[in-house]
Amino acid sequence: MVGTALFFLFAGFAIMCAISMVYHKNPLYSAISLVGVFISLSCIYITLAAPFIAAVQILIYAGAIMVLVVFVIMLLNLDDDTGPNRLKYLYTLGGGLGVVLLAQTFFIFYAVMRAPNVPSDQTLSAGKTLTIGQAMYTEYLLPVEIVGVLLLMAIIGSVMLARRLAQPQLEIVVERESEIRHDEQ
Amino acid sequence: MDFLNANLLTILILLPIIGAVLTLAHQMFWKQESQLKWLTLGFTTLNFVVSLALFSKSAIAGPSGYFFEKNVPWIKAIGTNYHIGVDGLSFWLVILTTFIMPIAVLSTWHAVEKKRTAFYIFLLLLESAMIGVFVSLDLLVFYLFFEASLVPMFFLIGIWGGDNRIYAAVKFFIFTAFGSLLMLVAIIALFFLYADQTGLGGSFDLIAIMNAMKTGTLVIPPQTGTLLFLAFALAFAIKVPLFPFHTWLPDAHTEAPTAGSVILAAVLLKMGTYGLMRFNFGLFPDQSKEWAWLFIALAIVGIIYGALVAMVQPDVKRLVAYSSVAHMGFVILGMFSFTEAGMQGALYTMLSHGVTTGALFLLVGFIYERRHTREITAFGGLSNPMPIYATIFVITTMASIGLPFLNGFVGEFLIMVGMFQSQVLGITASVNWNVVATMFAGTGVIFAAVYLLWMVQRVFFGKVTVEKNKGLADLSWREIGLMIPLLFLMVYMGVFPKPFLARSESAIKAIQERVMHQAGGTVDHAEAKPPVSGDEHK
Amino acid sequence: MEPSLASYLALSGILFTIGAVGVIFKRNALGMFMCIELMLNAVNLTFVAFSRYYGDTTGQLFVFMVMSVAAAEAAVGLGIIIAFFRNKQSIDVDEASILRN
Amino acid sequence: MSTLFLTDLLTPEASVSIILPEIVVALAGVIVMLYDSFFPKQRVVSGAIALIGLTVSAVILATMWGGNSPTSGWNGMIAHDNLRLSFSFVFLFVSAMTVLISTVWVDRENVPAGEYHALLLFATFGMMMMSAGNDLVVIFLGLETLSIATYVMAGLRRGDLKSNESAMKYFILGSFASAFLLYGMALIYGATGSTNLTQIADKVANPNFPALLLVGGAMLIVGFGFKIAMAPFHVWTPDVYEGAPTPVTGFMAAGPKAAAFSSFLRIFVLGLPLVAGVQSSVYLHDAWISALAVMAIITILVGNVAAIMQTNVKRMLAYSSIAHAGYALVGFIGAGMAKSTAARDEAIASVAFYMLTYAVTNMGAFAIVTLLAEKNDRRAEFEDYNGIGFKSPVLAFSLSLFMLSLLGLPLTAGFMGKILVFRPALEAANPLVTGLVIVAVIGSAISAYYYLRLIVVMFFRERTSEWRQPKMPLAMTTALVIAILGVLYFGIFADRVIEKFAQSPSGVVVKAEK
Amino acid sequence: MEAVIKTAFPFMVITAGVVIGFQMVLMIVAYTVLAERKVLGWMQGRVGPNRVGPWGVLQPFADFLKFIFKEDITPDKSTKFVYFLAPLVALTCALMPIVVYPFGPEITSVDWSFLPMGLGEGVKALPLTIARVDVGVLFVLGITSVGVYGIMLAGWSSNSKYSLMGGLRSSAQMISYELAMGASVIGVVLLAGTLDLGGIIRAQQQSTFRWFIVPQFIGFIVFLIAAFAETNRTPFDLPEAETELVAGFHTEYSALKFALFFMAEYVNMFTVSMMCTVLFLGGWYVPGLSHVFEVGSIPYALVSHFAFIGKICAFLFLYIWVRGTLPRFRFDQLMNFGWKFLLPVALANVIVTIIVVFFLNR
């Protein structure tokens, strides 16, 4: 009973935040809403007996990724999206995609509806840090290693992208080039 | 001798490639383009000489009845073999190819000014691809050479062609490539049919497939057969070109350099008719008979249409090109009569058309080199300043029209006879459609006479109307020397057709019997005696 | 009464839908990026729900990997967005149109 | 003592030997980084290290081919079969070619060479993991490693708006696709309760939630469809390919696409068997075949038709790569419909071989485009190729050769590739698939137009403006020679390669020891 | 009715725990403020606040009243919603970690059966912690990292240059030092073998060194420095540097909202000190105390608890002491120090710890 109430509370909050994220034109509001989603999902993970994932969710998503995003928003000092000069067909496309995915969600719901209900058991070992840690360094050692490489590479990549520009601004060069081309014709 | 017997065809294919490589090396190390023509001429002539070894009496037929056969595995993963060999049918076409090449090279003596290295390399590569087409007995290898012959020709037209060369080259390439790609699908489909039904694993080997069909281990379902037949036929019909797929031909011919036109007319078009005869008849005898009416109809339309359009052409080269359409219509007609006479005639017309039309293109090329125009109206009374040229041109035209004692006549006559005897089209109580077809084709001969003679009249006779033409130099010794073998052949083939026909007889008979008997036809062809003897010309 | 597997999957599906539609409706690259993060989260929820259902750690480990990847992706993605902004002074994808469509 | 330490750490079936090629590549990446941080100016050396790493890895791979090494490792996370070996070989080849090609560009544009080569190597590592991964986790991580590296590489010319834009579009759409892919994986995990493909394959006939398999499969198709640029998920390709630096574009067209194909094959053909005869499953078979066949048809048509209208060579090659994805899909479908394990392996080998031929040809073509592009890739329009045919015959004829190979003309690699992928599809004798092959053939015929156009432009047009022949550095010459020889070798003597590709290490079907 | 009470009872206990815990923390925080002013005063040869109540002990309440009654100004062009949200986020995130801290050992000596309706049945121990979380360390780190939103949002929404700069600096600083902080914690986690805070304290009891400050001295130093940075305290108080940024992110805040930020900062100091105590100083654990009192008894718990508070206060004093003595960093110095010194040291520490732990466990 309590579990259901909590689930609907958090689920409702998550969906509201998600919609608000899409709805808001201002990227910062979107970001805040998204943090809301993350936090409510984290709470849902706790009800799903996955405390480790819940903590990591907060730590990585809310604490690292979104801080970066907010940082970038502040750095670039972004304004609201203005004007509807958007390619019109995208609305149709998005609507279509939404309908398809919703239908799919119903389909999944329908398919899984009769699955037996697993009783709430907070002592389940699957979500415990120890279990996850053990699995990570035995069975899942290889993925962890790959993640290591992945992170190393991401560091290299982002440093390279963010490093101060050694090249001159090339845009002007490109424009001049196209002028020359135009003259030749 | 064993070595030669085993590898003669491979040598024929490889020699031009070696020539091409040497040409490239020559260009890289000596950088003297002027000597290249000698090198190329040497190699093409050498190839011709080597190809004469095909006449060798000591040649032994291989296990599948082909001479100079060679069969080694090539790519095992897809079960294709490097299987080559010649029979009476391909034999002459190989000779024709090697014969035409030196002449084509000679014709470029002064005509090609720019980028000679590339030009000669392409010519040599083209030769080896063409020989490959005629000798391959493996479907995939055949396809491979068939496509490979496209590229050099594409470049020849595109780089050394006339003003509208790009359009012509691309059109040529895309038309032919499109057809042959569908053929590729059909080839692969055959592979699987063979694999499924014989349980031996797939094979691209023409002989193996034909044998399997003969013994009944491979039965192509009728509907599939029709589709495959049409796929093959489309590829070849485009190449021939059969009306209505002919539109690339006038463009390609007109824009190509003289050597290109000569090769195109003399050899490349024959790939289509050769393919029809070898593959369509060999692999799909039933369907060939079933669809013969279509081909005969298209051939007749082609003959008449080609002639009518040729009549109104202002450009000599274009006129000759359209005459090719008409001639190839005759060839198709003869083939699809499924009588020995008709098919022999078709082969004979293929050869004579190669010689005659090649010669015509050469002649047009000569005048083009002098005047840089091919408009009929730009000439008139050329027989005055250029008597030798006029003489040769008239003889060649006569051969093209099909005047008796010249080569055109024999083939067309045999075709008509064959078609007349044929029973491939329906015979109702009131109408023998074969005879009707023959009659329509006969009008084509008359049309040919009309447009060719009219053209000759406008170009060579009367007064010299254009001032420039008065001072035109007559043919040089090189040019005359180049024409002499062709003229000789025109006459010789017109007078002594027997050695030619005798060589191809058994092969043609085999094909004809395959079509008629495999199909369970009721016609007994023992009675349809081919008038092959050639006595009448003696 | 506890919420069933189906309800978790439904929630995840709805969040995924919102994210996917958002990617298409959003005009600025950062917004799109956030929508993608939302989609990834929805997927994570699916994994955790199944992990719970099967009493199996695999799903949670997968989620952990996804999170690491998401962090890496964020670092690189934001770098790219900043680089674009530096040259264009905007991150509106509609204005990203030098390359013809 | 130290070895003891290692063995102890690696007790749970951590068979280093089975992923040695991958390890070598990753290590080479690290070494390049380290070297570059101490000697930042020596661009050539970092390239050389990368090349050596790739070569060593390839050699190790080659030795693994013959030996009877275990067919799986790391608790069934790594599969060691012909799919993995042959595709890994393709990846290594692509990367090595990319290194060779990019020397010119690295010098010209002052690219941070160490980072660039390290990223390339890590991307290769990701690709190899994708083909070796027998677990959804490994495949996903490999894919992401690859993708993230490629995002950065696409945006490497940081000062150029085109490059920025390309990277951004690639990033957004790539991550979008990853999300779909991941959702598919989650649903498959939900349906079967496992992420190990072998276990999934065992479970597919009797899944816990059959419906989820269907939905999950669809999502996976969407995700992989994005990665291999299958219509209608191809929209990102032209923009991204045009904007990215030319060598990177070449890499993207050949490498990641092949990698996505390898995982796609592994998941769909081995994991969720499309295979009718081997492991039949009522839920997946027909639906996927039809869907994929239809999408392949659209892909081929869209790619070829759109390519005709392009004026930029890179963009044309981008659309052509879409079309080529369509052709490879034909072989994929053939693998899905194979009637026996041997036929399936052959079909898989044919896809691998197709990707190899495409890689050879494509890398060759991009080598020349890179060489001619000049700074900032500003010379990549068709008009820039006007009449260079006889000013630089070597380049022009090589490029023509590559174009003809892309077109699929006999005696070139492209022809062999096409034959091989069409074969298994026709063997299936399914009308839709036969129709697909015919469409593919018609597509090839259409493609003649735009491939020839480049040749036409180079040889048949006259140049109006001045043009200097670019200098040919040694690396570029090597790359070109390799590409030309490759195109001819794979076109004429493909036999050995194909046999190798179809041959599994010890002929045992992969089994997880979980 | 009984059933309802039975269901609600655990929640009531938790609520009571939360109320008590938070009340206590807030009181301590209030007096930390006073203590800071006093101590700084003494260090600088001044008296410090001494007007309100004896020795100024009522000063915090006076301040509080002042904050309440001051005019609450909202900048004209600020983003209202975010402007209001920011201080709430800051304070909430500062207070949240308290729920997982063990304030003392379990009390096992009390028999709870005297409770009506059998509520005490089966209850063996009263933990002096509000919620026992398996992943306590991660929880604390996570919540702390979320806390930065308060500052960033405040900086952004105020629509003021200074605020924005402060916000940006703050987030950059937080992200940078969080890494070092996390890395320094790993050493302890490796030694303890658990992420549970109570577990870490127990592990320290059983370890040879009693307190992890001994084997993890480097980790301790790194953690301490990172903690100063995380709480934006001198010498890392760049986000609110008065001299350059006019108080930084909270320039535009006044009255109660400012008070919330103010409180958040001090609560943060408190929680970080608490974390440091738990991780490195054995938490509530006093070596040798078990010989004096019986483990599990109320006196034992009380003494331990006060020892815990005492350790925290020592840290708080350290904060004030540092503030009184050290100058502020420049921003580039701060960044370089964080990335090029602190993080590598922390990582090296982790690696060494891994190797040592590995060989110890063999």
Interface check for D448 against chain B (CB to CB < 8 A): the answer is: yes
- Residue range(s) defining the domain that contains residue A96: 2-122
Q: Are residues A32 and A73 in the same domain?
A: yes
pLDDT band at D146 (very low <50, low <70, confident <90, very high): very high
- pLDDT at position D1 is 33
Question: How large a percentage of chain E has pLDDT more than 70?
Answer: 95
Which residues from C are below 8 Å from A166, CB to CB? none
Question: How large a percentage of chain D has pLDDT more than 70?
Answer: 92
C99: nearest CA partner in chain D: D239
Report, as an integer, the average pLDDT of D327-352.
85
Sign of CA dihedral D346, D349, D355, D359: negative
- Residue range(s) defining the domain that contains residue E202: 75-360
Kindly write down the DSSP assignment for every residue of E72-127, as one continuous string: ----TTS-HHHHHHHHHHHHHHHHGGGGG-B-S--B-S--GGGSGGGTTTT---B-
Q: Confirm whether C101 is domain-assigned.
A: no
B50 vs B56: CA distance, rounded Å: 11
Please judge whether D179 and C80 are an interchain contact, meaning their C-beta atoms are less than 8 angstroms apart: no
Length of chain B: 538
C13: nearest CA partner in chain D: D183
Q: Confirm whether E60 is domain-assigned.
A: no
Q: Confirm whether A132 is domain-assigned.
A: no
**Model confidence pLDDT, tens digit, residues D173-209:** 999 999 999 999 999 998 888 888 888 888 887 788 8
Q: What are chain E's partners, defined as 3 or more CB pairs within 8 angstroms?
A: A
Q: Report how many helices (DSSP H) and strands (DSSP E) chain B contains, helices first.
A: 21, 2
**Model confidence pLDDT, tens digit, residues B217-238:** 888 888 888 888 888 888 888 8
Q: Confirm whether E287 is domain-assigned.
A: yes
Which residues from B are below 8 Å from D407, CB to CB? 177
Number of domains in chain C: 1
Q: Confirm whether A133 is domain-assigned.
A: no
Residues ≥6 apart with Cβ < 8 Å to B517: none
**Model confidence pLDDT, tens digit, residues A7-19:** 899 999 999 999 9
Q: Using an 8 Å CB-CB cutoff, list residues of chain B that contact chain D.
A: 74-78, 114-115, 118, 140, 143-148, 150-151, 154-155, 158-159, 165-166, 169-170, 173-174, 177-178, 181-182, 184-185, 188-189, 191-192, 195-196
Report, as an integer, the average pLDDT of D374-397.
80
Name the average pLDDT for chain E: 82
B353 vs B447: CA distance, rounded Å: 17
Q: Are residues A18 and A53 in the same domain?
A: yes
Q: Coil, strand, or helix at residue B70?
A: strand
Q: What is the CATH number of the domain that holds A47?
A: 1.20.120.1200
Please judge whether B77 and D499 are an interchain contact, meaning their C-beta atoms are less than 8 angstroms apart: yes
Quick check: do A and B touch, 3+ CB pairs under 8 A? no
Q: Closest to B151 (Cβ–Cβ): which among D409, D427, D437?
A: D409
User: Is the Cβ–Cβ distance between D143 and D130 less than 8 Å?
Assistant: yes
Question: Is a pLDDT exceeding 90 seen at residue D124?
Answer: yes
Strand partners, E107: E126
What does R_g of chain B's alpha carbons equal in angstroms?
A: 22
- pLDDT at position D509 is 42
Report, as an integer, the average pLDDT of A18-25.
88
- pLDDT at position D277 is 44
Q: Which amino acid is at D43?
A: R
pLDDT tens track of chain C, all 101 residues? 577 888 899 999 999 999 999 888 887 888 889 999 999 999 999 999 888 888 888 888 999 999 999 999 998 998 888 888 877 777 676 666 666 54
**Model confidence pLDDT, tens digit, residues B148-197:** 888 888 888 888 877 888 888 888 888 888 888 888 888 888 888 888 78
Q: Are residues A117 and A148 in the same domain?
A: no
**Model confidence pLDDT, tens digit, residues E36-78:** 888 888 888 888 787 777 877 888 888 888 888 887 777 777 7
**What angle do helix axes E255-280 and E80-95 make, rounded to 10 degrees?**
30
- pLDDT at position D68 is 67
Please give the interface size between A and D, counted as residue pairs whose CB atoms are below 8 Å apart: 120
Which residues from B are below 8 Å from D410, CB to CB? 143-148
Cα–Cα distances (Å) from E203 to E128, E194, E352, in that order, read 18, 9, 19
Alpha helices in D11-160 (DSSP H): 20-38, 43-66, 82-109, 113-132, 136-154
E137: nearest CA partner in chain A: A55
For residue B116, what are its two tokens?
Answer: 């000679």
Q: Confirm whether C57 is domain-assigned.
A: yes
Number of domains in chain E: 1
Give the CA angle between residues B137, B141, B144 to the nearest 5°: 140
E52 vs E63: CA distance, rounded Å: 10
The contacts found for B436-441 with CB under 8 angstroms, 24 or more apart, are B437/B296, B437/B300, B437/B333, B440/B300, B440/B303, B440/B304, B441/B299, B441/B300, B441/B303, B441/B329, B441/B330, B441/B333, B441/B415, B441/B416
For residue B187, what are its two tokens?
Answer: 């080839």
- pLDDT at position C44 is 93
Q: Confirm whether E6 is domain-assigned.
A: no
Please give the interface size between A and C, counted as residue pairs whose CB atoms are below 8 Å apart: 241
Sign of CA dihedral D368, D372, D376, D378: negative
Question: Is a pLDDT exceeding 90 seen at residue B312?
Answer: no
pLDDT band at B277 (very low <50, low <70, confident <90, very high): confident
- pLDDT at position B514 is 80
Q: Are residues A118 and A29 in the same domain?
A: yes
Which residues from E are below 8 Å from A52, CB to CB? 134-135, 138
Q: What are chain D's partners, defined as 3 or more CB pairs within 8 angstroms?
A: A, B, C
Q: What is the CATH number of the domain that holds C21?
A: 1.10.287.3510
Per DSSP bridges, beta strands B80-86 and D72-73 are unpaired
Please judge whether D499 and B185 are an interchain contact, meaning their C-beta atoms are less than 8 angstroms apart: no
Q: Confirm whether A134 is domain-assigned.
A: no
Interface check for D109 against chain A (CB to CB < 8 A): the answer is: yes
Which residues from B are below 8 Å from D460, CB to CB? 158-159, 165-166, 169
- Residue range(s) defining the domain that contains residue C60: 5-95
Number of domains in chain A: 2
| ipTM for the complex shown | 0.85
Please judge whether B184 and D393 are an interchain contact, meaning their C-beta atoms are less than 8 angstroms apart: no
Q: Confirm whether E5 is domain-assigned.
A: no
Q: Closest to A70 (Cβ–Cβ): which among E138, E139, E152?
A: E152
Q: Are residues A6 and A97 in the same domain?
A: yes
